[in-house]
Amino acid sequence: MTLEEAIRGRRSIRKFRRDPIPEEVLREILDQARWAPSWGNTQPWEFVVLTGNALDEFRTTKHRKMVAGEAFSPEIPMPEVWPEHLNKRYKENGKIVLTAMGIAREDKEGRMRLYENMFLLFDAPCLVVACIDAKSLVEYAMLDIGLVLQTLCLSAHDKGIGSCIMAVSVGYPALLRKIAAIPDDRRIVMGVVLGYPDPDYPLNRFQRVRADISEFVRWVS
């Protein structure tokens, strides 16, 4: 696979086969991801890899919390208000997703099924949780975490393994801390699910869009 194919071909996968990923393959992915750049080569990331019963317990309890309407409280807070032009892209993405699934906007049950699929982590057999030392400069380490997660997703893609970076996977941090034994001096930043993609699922196949570079690049000479 060329780098171009990896960059263009990686996409968020939203339904996985249940087959586990062999541990040596997961190790190779993590081994490649560590070559991501970081400030001063500090490599501030720490990963917790959940599979098997631990992941299933997390998945089902999280789903129960979502159905019960328990509030979402990630440790890296999400912005409450997005700039207008970004919100527009978010809404367009939502429309594309619903159309790909054949779900009408007013179909509440259909939308709920989508949420449930998401809260069940798309049936992924593996969740990698990225943490940092809670005492570090939290904002600054976000840059390094972003870089290492993209590297991880590209490496997975190169090995035929799908990924989805998931804010939803870290929305109930107390539960995650308990099941994965994450100590209080670590901040939970983001999770990525990994697994073999279900090739027929519409959200693994729809045509994605990106803004043209003219929308976000300004040239100065």
Ligand X SMILES: Cc1cc2nc3c(=O)[nH]c(=O)nc-3n(C[C@H](O)[C@H](O)[C@H](O)COP(=O)(O)O)c2cc1C
Interacting residues with ligand X (CB under 6 A):
11-12, 14, 93, 118, 164-168, 190, 208
Angstrom distance (rounded) from CA 83 to CA 50: 35
> In terms of CB distance, is 25 or 165 closer to ligand X?
165
> In terms of CB distance, is 167 or 174 closer to ligand X?
167
Minimum CB distance to ligand X, residue 111 (Å) = 13
> In terms of CB distance, is 11 or 65 closer to ligand X?
11
Minimum CB distance to ligand X, residue 16 (Å) = 12
Minimum CB distance to ligand X, residue 14 (Å) = 6
- Candidates 22, 202, 180; CA nearest to 122 is 202
Minimum CB distance to ligand X, residue 153 (Å) = 8
Structure tokens given for 198: 């279900």
> In terms of CB distance, is 23 or 78 closer to ligand X?
78
Minimum CB distance to ligand X, residue 1 (Å) = 17
Angstrom distance (rounded) from CA 20 to CA 194: 10
Structure tokens given for 180: 């994965």
For residue 216, count CB atoms less than 10 angstroms from its CB and return exposed for 0-12, middle for 13-18, buried for 19 or more.
Answer: exposed
> In terms of CB distance, is 54 or 165 closer to ligand X?
165
The position carrying tokens 């801390």 is 177
